[in-house]
Amino acid sequence: MFFVIAAIILTGCSSQKKYTDFDISYSRSGGFAPIYENLLIKGTYAHYSFEGQNKKIKKDFKISAEELEEIQNVLSANSFRKIGEDYKKVYDNISTTINVKKGDNSGLKTDASFILEKDRKKWENITGVFCRLIDNKINDSSEK
């Protein structure tokens, strides 16, 4: 009986590791009809989940070295670490958060209270690279 309980506990703990052990994360959440979208990248492996709009998607996939390099290049070219966040109160907004844990672009940025006007184009460029990756890996493969 002890072994069964230990196995259940270990399985439960290891399944949560996917959500905490990542190098880069892109997440969107909130809104009047809340959505929860997460893209977690660890090395060349990625986990994507989406819940909302009467959909539930969970998918694991590989990312190529070129795709990782593109993300890093866009983060660097748009000075990710220097993007300014506005701190106004915003309610019922879908907010995007990007968390980079490794490398020169390490940092956490969110548009939960909007991004400063001078940095909005840079923010759109950065979020765009994640949206394209999701479209290419999730939306295209679900149509096949």
Domains defined for the chain, CATH in brackets: 21-143 (3.30.1560.10)
Q: Quick one: pLDDT at residue 3? A: 57
Q: Quick one: pLDDT at residue 78? A: 97
Q: Quick one: pLDDT at residue 14? A: 46
Per the CB < 8 A criterion, the answer to whether 37 and 29 are in contact is: yes
CA dist 31 and 110 (Å) reads 15
**pLDDT by 10s per residue, the chain, length 144:** 655 565 555 555 544 455 567 999 999 999 888 999 999 999 999 999 999 989 999 999 999 999 999 999 999 999 999 999 988 877 778 999 999 998 899 999 999 989 999 999 999 999 999 999 999 998 765 443
Q: Quick one: pLDDT at residue 138? A: 85
Assessment of whether the complete model's pTM goes beyond 0.85: no
CA dist 46 and 66 (Å) reads 14
Phi first, then psi: what are they for 50, rounded to 5°? -145, 135
Q: What is the DSSP string of 55-82?
A: EEEEEEEE--HHHHHHHHHHHHHTTGGG
Give, in order, the Cα–Cα distances in Å from 35 to each of 15, 26, 49. 22, 14, 11
Locus of tokens 């295209």? 140
